[in-house]
Structure 1
Amino acid sequence: MNKNAAVLVIGLFVSSHGIAQNVMPPIGNYITEGGWGNLSIQQKKPEGIVFEIHSFGANAHSCQLEGEIRNGRATLESSDKEKPCLIDFQPSSRGVNVVPQTLQECREYCGMRAGFDGLYLKPVRGCENIDRQATKDKFKHLYDSKNYRDARLTIETLLNSCSTTLGQYELGAIRNDLAITQYHLGDFSGCLNTLEPYAKDAAMTTNDAVKDYPPADAEAYSGILDAARTNINLCHKKLRK
C-alpha cells in the first residue's frame, strides 16, 4: 500500500467513527431495567430534538435533566461556565445508552445517591408509564366489582409483560394485587408462588427486614412487605384446611 492510500484509509476510518458518534437517538420514551430511570426524547419546535431524564436512587435521591440534543450530544450548564455537562445519547438495538462525558459537572443534576447513566430500554407495548397506570386502573375497577377472573388476567398480563422495566416497589404492589386476587379465586398455591420473592423477609418482623435500608426505602418497602405478609398468611391458612 502506498503512502497516499494509507492516508485515505485512515481518513475514512476517522470520518466513519465521527458519524457513528453523532447518530441521533430515535424519538420515544425509554425506561431502564429495574425502572429506576425514565428518558423521553421528543421533537419540539422551535427547540428541535429535546430530552428529559428523571431517575431515582437510594433514599429518594433523584436526578432531573432536560435540554436539547444536537448530533447525539446534549450540553448543559454547570456551576463552572467553562466546563459544561456533556451527555452522549447512543442508540443501541435495545434502546438508548446515556453516557455522561463530564462526570463531575453532570453530578450537579443529581442527588448524592442517584445517577442517570446507563441503558434506557424501549419498553414493551403496554409498559410505558401512562399505559401501566391505565392497566392498574382497569384492574382496580374489575377487582372492586369482584370480577376476580378478569382482574387476575389484567394484572397478571402487566406483571408478565413489564417485569423487566418495573421499579422494585411498583413490582411489589403488583405482586400483592395479583396474590390477593388469586386468593379470592381459590388459587392459594399460586398466591404463595407470586409472593415467594418476599417470603424470607415476611418471616421476619418488618423492623428487622428493613434495618439496613435507608429511611425512605425502608418506608416504601415496609408497605410492600406488610401487605405481602398478610396475603401470605391468608393463603397459608387456606392451604392448611
Structure 2
Amino acid sequence: MKKTLFATLVCALAAAATAQDYALYDSPTESGGISITGKRFSLNTASQRGNICDLDGTIKNNQYRDGKGCVVRFHFSGKNLVELEVPESAREACSEYCGMNARFDSAYAVLPAACTEQGEKATEKRFQTAYRAKQYRQAAQIKQQYIASCGKFISFTDRMHAANDLAVSHKNAGDKAACRRALATIKTWLDPEFDPGYIYEQDYQREAKAAAYNLKLCR
C-alpha cells in the first residue's frame, strides 16, 4: 500500500520536471509522500487505517500557512531529507486536511534507487536465485542489505516479510542465532496487543504466523 500511494503521487506530478519527490521515512504504519517543485508542494499520506491527508500549497520562508490557522514548518537536511513540523497551536487547523487520526507531520526522504519498484524487483530476483541455488549465506546477505537500505521506507508487513526471508536464510545456513536476531527486529509487531488495522490484517496474519513458525525452527 505504501508503494502504491507514493507511486500515484509521483505519477500525478511527473509533468513537473524539476520536482523533488520524497517518501515517508521511518513511518512503518503510515504511507505516502510529498513532492516539491520550487516553492510549491503537494503531499498525500494515509494512516494505518486508510484515512488520508491531502495538502498542497506554497512554501515561504520554509513555512506553509493557509490563512486559516494551519502552519507547516519545513526543515530541510541537505537534498535528501525534509521534516514537516506542525506547531501545537496549529494542529487543529491542519487536521482539517486529514481524515480521522491521520497525520502528515513526519520525516520524508528521497527514495534510494534500490528501494524503487524496479530496484526491489532486481533485489528479489537476486535473492531468489541465491536461495534456490542453496547459497543461503549469500541470500541472507542480499536480504540484509535490502533491509539496511530500504527498511525505513516500507510498511511494517513488508518489513516482517523481509525479516522472515532473512531468518529462514540464516536458519538454512546453519546459523540459528542469526535467525533469532532477524526475528527480534520485528518483535514490536508480534506483540499480541498490536492491532494491524483492517487494511493490513491479511498480510499481517500471514507474516506473524510465519514468524512464529520460524522462531520455533530457530530455537
User: Same fold by TM (over 0.5)?
Assistant: yes
Provide Cα deviations, 1:148-178, integer angstroms capped at 9, x if missing partner.
3432221111123344444322221110011
Provide Cα deviations, 1:11-68, integer angstroms capped at 9, x if missing partner.
xxxxxxxxxxxxxxx934243223435433343xxxx554343334343334243x34
Q: CA deviation at 1:215?
A: 4.1
Question: Which amino acid letter does the alignment assign opposite residue 213 of structure 1?
Answer: D
Higher Cα Rg: structure 1 or 2? 1
Q: Residues of 1 paired with 2:72 and 2:127: CA distance?
A: 39
**2:98 matched to 1:98?**
no
**Equivalence for 2:6:** none
Which of 6, 18, 33 aligns to 1:39? It is 33
1:187-226 alignment runs, 5 A limit: 187-197=175-185, 209-211=191-193, 213=195, 215-216=197-198, 219-226=202-209
Which of 3, 17, 29 aligns to 2:22? It is 29
Q: CA deviation at 1:89?
A: 2.4
SS in 1 for 2:177: helix
1:63-102 alignment runs, 5 A limit: 63-65=53-55, 67-71=56-60, 72-74=62-64, 83=68, 85-92=70-77, 95-100=81-86, 102=90
Identity %: 23
Which of 93, 104, 107 aligns to 1:116? It is 104
Question: Which amino acid letter does the alignment assign opposite residue 75 of structure 2?
Answer: Q
Q: Residues of 1 paired with 2:155 and 2:107: CA distance?
A: 15
Which of 137, 150, 156 aligns to 2:138? It is 150
Change (3 A) 1:63 1:129: farther
User: Structure 1 stretches of 5 or more lacking a match?
Assistant: 1-25, 77-81, 203-208, 237-241
**Equivalent residues, number:** 195
User: Structure 2 stretches of 5 or more lacking a match?
Assistant: 1-18
SS in 1 for 2:114: coil
Q: CA deviation at 1:219?
A: 4.7
Question: Which amino acid letter does the alignment assign opposite residue 144 of structure 2?
Answer: E
Q: Residues of 2 paired with 1:62 and 1:28: CA distance?
A: 18
Change (3 A) 1:103 1:191: same
Q: Residues of 1 paired with 2:147 and 2:173: CA distance?
A: 18
TM-score after normalising by structure 2: 0.66
The answer on whether the counterparts of 2:163 and 2:186 sit within 8 Å (CA) in structure 1 is: no
**Equivalence for 2:16:** none
Higher helix content, 1 or 2 = 1
Aligned Cα root-mean-square deviation (Å): 3.6
